[in-house]
Amino acid sequence: MKTKNADFIWIDGEFKPWESVTVPITTHALHYGTSVFEGIRGYSNGDNLYIFQLREHIQRLIRSAEAYSINSKYSVDEICNYVIELLRKNNIKQSCYIRPLLFVGLHGIDLNITKDSPTHLAIIVFPFSRYFSESGIRTCISSWRRINGNSTPPMAKAGGNYLNSVLATQECKRNGYDESILLDYNGNVSEAPGENIFVIRKNKIYTPSLSDSVLEGITRDATITIALNLGYKVIERSITRSELYSADEIFVTGTAAEITSVIGVDNHVIGNGLVGNITKQISDSYQNLVLSKIDQYKDWLTSVW
């Protein structure tokens, strides 16, 4: 963060003033990207603050760490409790973003990370609202390909993996787009730099399968459940680039993005260039559930106050 966003950060079992938290320049994660992290949202409905799928996010954090033999000193239950305690310590009552970060510390310069390597867990929280425009985003196909499971695990939310996303984002911004779409090594649609992708054609919803180098997104899974409960058919399969151009609607999902309409791909207008009806219906359901307005999904929420 460029500036202070809350009074306290939780790190290694302690609440510390935001400005006081530093790491040594020799921290292994700074040199080699040996970190895993999560992005989690808290939503305020005026009466309480609700964390969306807290436990599922922390479970994925631990799975990501295990892929790289990064050891966590803390259990899923402990980390969940620390998140809630940090929000209370900072008196956060407005909608916010929560970032747990598990990283390798003073291991040395060799690359043999093991369960015995020193690790640290930090959690930061800060106020957060809309990430993308509600009216939709214009995208382009990136010349960079999505990382491949034969090189590094795409399903692990690891810091080093996101250099791939940085390159794709830089490219799209230089070319005047809001976001990029990456293809996998087979030339099929994979995902955006920080979002999963859904394509709608003839009232059916398609999304790339996990074998297409996608992150197993928590918002992705929630969206599939919402769509099924609304009566739509959701099909997980490989999607070609040309299918994007002929789609009736496209939207992306993610913690930051929530459910955001894609209104253009490579200067091809998607649908009528506006947020589509199915996208809006799913997005409205998502917004209502995270604000605890739908009883059906209340077990996805953790109340803070």
DSSP 85-104: HHHHHTT--S-EEEEEEEEE
pLDDT tens, position by position, 235-293: 999 999 999 999 999 999 999 999 999 999 999 999 999 999 999 999 999 999 999 99
Q: Look up the pTM and report it.
A: 0.95
93: annotated active-site residue: no
Q: Tokens representing 85?
A: 């305690």
Separation between Cα atoms, residue 214 and residue 253, nearest integer Å: 12
Beta strands 204-207 and 233-236, pairing class: parallel
Structural domain boundaries in the chain: 8-127, 137-290
- Whether the CA torsion 4, 126, 194, 58 is positive or negative: it is positive
User: Contact, 195 vs 218, CB < 8 A?
Assistant: no
The stretch 151-166 carries a mean pLDDT of 96
pLDDT tens, position by position, 67-100: 999 999 999 999 999 999 999 999 999 999 999 9
CATH number for domain 137-290, candidates 3.30.1490.20, 3.30.750.24, 3.20.10.10, 3.40.50.720? 3.20.10.10
Runs of H (alpha helix) within the chain = 28-32, 54-67, 76-89, 162-174, 218-229, 241-245, 277-290
Give the confidence band of 4 by pLDDT, cuts at 50, 70, 90: confident
Q: What secondary structure letter does DSSP report for 33?
A: -
What is the dotted CATH code of the domain comprising 8-127? 3.30.470.10
Sorted by sequence, the CB contacts under 8 Å of residue 166 that are 6+ apart come out as: 193
Separation between Cα atoms, residue 277 and residue 196, nearest integer Å: 19
The catalytic residue among 2, 16, 93, 157 is 157
Q: Tokens representing 118?
A: 């020193």
Q: Based on C-alpha coordinates, what's the Rg of the chain?
A: 19
Same fold, 8-127 and 137-290: no
Collapse the DSSP code of 29 into the 3-class scheme (helix H, G, I; strand E, B; otherwise coil) and give the result.
helix
Report the alpha-carbon angle 156-80-77, nearest 5: 90
